[in-house]
Structure 1
């Protein structure tokens, strides 16, 4: 019905859409200002004074996307992170950065200056080049009298170099109000070359006034869900204020991708999960979310979004040992078939025109796998790839339409392409589902005798879902009757570590049983090994 309230709402959304797109257009110019050298007419504003309550680097430091000769360094000036603009004014601030070969900075190897500008919430993305491959470095920032915490990072080894070993951890899903982040504290104590985050770095919903499980009161600005740029910035500030998360960021370089909650639950491409949002309105929403994501992640300036679009899928190689293909399973996917939830007899999921990655990314992935000289090919993936039938009735299959099961033809193209190109040693690491799970990837999941092409390790959440249950799941090595290719499930929180050599790929499921407390211990719940050239899971004693 065309009543006055409906017309008023439509007018408001039209104004907001135009306003936000104008802001996004102006931001592209701001990026140029942030990265060009200072001229004679520009003066650095002094850093704000430090007090017991004010820390200029209140969101910590981070590094990411390592190359053989470089790495991205990140920080954000935010003395009071949960205030508008992080407690700063609209001036831009000069920030010096320094990279050294030792933690005491007696052997500085690179230094420079850049600008933290208000258009990007005073975030800093420094693309350092000229470093040596496969080396450990330390870095810090300075603005005025304030010096940041020291971060540790590592460059990637030369892809032409034989690499005998590397180790990394992966994680996902860290709803702040659901629990603390002890997994990150324990992760920061491990010897890791890189950390991979597979999405749901934050959740877009409002935070309870009492902070949920954390029992920490939050102000009213955090209690409504994210849709504007400033609201997303506030949510990132809340999450990144966590000391354990900061410790993990400062411990090793990160490779990041997103899933749905960085924008909106179960969104698909340009399609909102809410029927009340038009495509145009949702793309403004997505643009705000993508911009805030880039502002708060250790990504290069060239990866900054252009409005609602951002190229995030990319490839990173570690010597001749590991190739990471970091996927984007949200921005280009077709809308979910038959709705978002579990469905029986949904024939639309079989439609060959539908894709999880979009055809361009599918081709990019298969071409990169076929041309790879690395021993192990690791796909950093958002949602469960292996077939996952939730129905115990053998005569009926129940699938999630948000998983790869809802995009069967797209999954078939990937797996068939791996088989046809004879790509070996394929490992998929996955987030999203808030449980640990190990599975073999079959050419035909409905035929247990079908060839095994690789394995998938689904990592549980850092905190989402709360403590979970140690008694729910499937012990290592046993088979799920509805999914005989699944060999392990666990419903607790934690992270997953991978130790890779030319001969083997070893996985440890590290569990933090009590995320309702910040001091949870850590234990290894299950271990698996894959032998070079012999696809399939082998159980190891935890």
Structure 2
């Protein structure tokens, strides 16, 4: 499954029917709505019998009030899902209402679908028809699956680069895209390539977060990547504020009450713009993001939340406190039970921040990131040990704007200890601007952390092909994002053999 679908609305209008209920006819009060689908369409979180379909009505997506140019009233939106791109073989359809309290976003959980089947979907509102998206359901849990192809990516600062990698991603043949955080950036950065943030402030209010999400969603290459495959998304920090932890701001000296109000605004806007299920609908400042997607008997994808429940960051000499948590008690229990009960060949932790130990200091001194799992060492080592007990564990990670391949060690301080899992870290789509082969400090990282096999700092994504016997990770990169149009290339390929922890490079 790959390639953006480009069927025009004019060719499709007759099958949705001129007499169907629409926003213009069902609720005539207020101004007429024109071109409401400026933010495209998306799908996400595929089950074996259902998938989420998403859009948001926004004829003026950057309107100052954050409501996208929509009238202050409820609107009806029709949706269809079909076995063919001409919509001659409809399998499900319906009408939903959306209004200003949801920023006129639409989340349809289309059910009654066949397992591991391709579908096409679209929406209609105010007499206009949306672009067409393509999606795919998952296999039935536990059934034999010989191949699963997915990509993971993160960190797409709008101001740092053009979405060239997203355009290439849309042409892949994938079952899923896992996006591991920093979908938007909250900053006032205006960049240097003519793609400055709107509004020109660090966003804090609900209206401002809505506008920022809408700005990112107006990019046609990002729309194409969403329309090509279902996505599974998790947030990291910049969807709210840099390095935030639970109810605590990392950047500002404000009360938990003030910060939780900002968090409520950010997470509401996040949900409104993502293809998430109703189980993820936020309640005040809380959004239940951690969840599990199952792909036959081959892959269990455990999507983690490393922000809402974490203890605040501390200095290195406190990082070994056994009571410190990154996941929180409930999520930690959920993950432990899920790993214990899994019957999949591969167990994947899809998460945001660097998992393995990473010492930045040369020589006998040590220096660890306070925002990564190193700052929560005892809990990290406990999760590591559960992955070792299960076998065939792979951690996929974003955040650091660089590609890494890491052997997860039974004891990170002993290079001779057993390799028990693999961490694959993906670079950014754009964040960090054009990037480079490596940074000067990477030589120290490789020297001080012999479990790190590979570092590269170009932009792009990681494509993964998973079978019952091996996992192949292709590090796909572009050399430039400051200008559009750079070609994609394979920078490196690594293979993990089932039953033999650790990745090996292929020429």
For normalisation by structure 2, the TM-score amounts to 0.92
Residues 13-36 of structure 1, C-alpha deviation per residue, up to 9 Å, x if partnerless? xxxxxxxxxxxxxxxxxxxxxxxx
Question: Structure 1 480/108 Cα, relative in aligned 2: closer, same or farther at 3 Å?
Answer: same
Query: Secondary structure of 1:470's partner?
Result: coil
C-alpha RMSD over aligned residues: 1.9
Partner residue, 1:67? 47
- Whether 1:533 aligns to 2:502 is no
Q: 1:452 aligns with which of 391, 414, 419?
A: 419
- The whole-number CA distance in structure 1 between the counterparts of 2:105 and 2:84 is 25
- Cα deviation for residue 449 of structure 1 reads 1.6
Corresponding residue for 1:4?
none
**Contact preservation (8 Å) 1:45, 1:93:** no
Evaluate the alpha carbon distance shift between residue 47 and residue 100 of structure 1 in structure 2; reply closer, same or farther with a 3 A threshold: farther
Per the TM alignment, residue 80 of structure 1 is displaced from its structure 2 partner at its CA by 1.2
1:234 aligns with 2:211: yes
Find the partner of 1:360 among 327, 330, 335.
Answer: 330
In the alignment, which residue of structure 2 is the partner of 1:374? 344
CA gap 1:137/1:475 in 2 versus in 1, 3 angstroms? farther
| Pairs within 5 Å for 1:342-421 | 346-393=316-363, 395-419=364-388
Work out whether residues 257 and 326 of structure 1, in 8 Å CA contact, stay in contact via their aligned partners in 2. Answer: yes
Write the deviation string for residues 318-374 of structure 1: whole angstroms up to 9, x where unpaired.
Answer: 111111000000000000012xxxxxxx22101011011112211211211111011
Shift of 1:214: 3.0
Deviations 1:177-214 (A, max 9, x none): 00111111001000000000000000111142xxx233
Structure 1 CA distance, aligned partners of 2:355 and 2:176?
23
1:337 partnered with 2:314? yes
Q: Distance in 1 between matches of 2:368 and 2:196?
A: 39
Counterpart check, 1:278 vs 2:255? yes
Cα separation, partners in 2 of 1:114 and 1:46, compared to 1, 3 Å: farther
Decide whether the 8 Å contact of 1:473 with 1:489 is kept in 2: no
Shift of 1:217: 6.2
In the alignment, the residues of structure 2 paired with residue 493 and residue 329 of structure 1 have an alpha-carbon distance, to the nearest angstrom, of: 23
Match of 2:187 in 1: 205
**TM superposition score normalised by structure 1:** 0.86
Q: Which residue of 1 aligns with 2:230?
A: 253
- From the superposition, tell whether residues 454 and 46 of structure 1 become closer, same or farther in structure 2 (CA, over 3 Å): farther
Gaps of 5+ in 1: 1-37, 339-345
Q: Do the aligned partners of 1:262 and 1:289 also contact (CA within 8 Å) in 2?
A: yes
What is the CA distance between 1:473 and its match in structure 2?
7.5
Q: State the match for 1:223 in structure 2.
A: 200
How far does residue 415 in structure 1 lie from its aligned partner after superposition? 1.4
Structure 1 counterpart of 2:471: 505
How far does residue 391 in structure 1 lie from its aligned partner after superposition?
Answer: 1.2
Which whole-Å CA distance do the structure 2 matches of 1:520 and 1:390 have between them? 32
Does the 8 A contact of 2:142 with 2:343 survive in 1? no
Measure the CA separation in 1 of the matches of 2:438 and 2:407.
23
- Alignment check: 8 A CA contact 2:152 2:177 kept: yes
Q: 1:491: how far off?
A: 1.1
Match of 2:27 in 1: 44
Give 1:46 deviation, angstroms: 8.0
CA offset at residue 160 of structure 1?
Answer: 2.6
- Listed one character per residue, the Cα deviations across residues 58-103 of structure 1 (whole Å, up to 9, x for unaligned) are 0000000000000000000001111131111101111000000011
Query: Could you tell me which residue of structure 2 aligns to residue 517 of structure 1?
Result: 483
Stretch moving more, 531-540 or 466-475: 466-475
Give deviations 1:100-135, integer Å, cap 9, x for gaps. Answer: 001111100000000121101000000111000100
Bigger helix fraction: 1
